[in-house]
Amino acid sequence: MLASEALVKRMDRAKKARERGQFRLLSRYTVVNSEGWKTIVYEVWSCQTHRRNPRVYLVSHDLSKGLWTCTCPDFQQNGDWTPCKHILYVQQV
């Protein structure tokens, strides 16, 4: 599967999960490092899968580099080539 096809599929899954109430934005805060660069951190509640108990993942957006990261296992494995559903959810809300 091409990366663009995977991204479209993930965006659709994130949209459906949001519509079903499987994601919730719990909080949002800004962290400033010693050099003055800002990172916005979002706490996302997720109950998307029946195999796991609901989890809270941290989605970070580094404003200086424009980079997004997430603490979910999917992003840890595949984040180099496509964002996870949690990042897509945060970008949509």
Mean pLDDT of 26-52: 86
- Is the pLDDT confidence value at 2 over 60? no
Q: pLDDT tens-digit profile of 42-76? A: 999 988 655 667 889 999 999 988 999 999 998 99
Q: Which residue has the tokens 């993942």?
A: 57
| Residue 7 vs residues 2, 10, 84, 89: alpha-carbon distances, Å | 9, 5, 9, 13
Both tokens of residue 7?
């991204």
Q: Are 40 and 61 in contact (CB under 8 A)?
A: yes
pTM, to two decimals: 0.82
Both tokens of residue 93?
């809300």
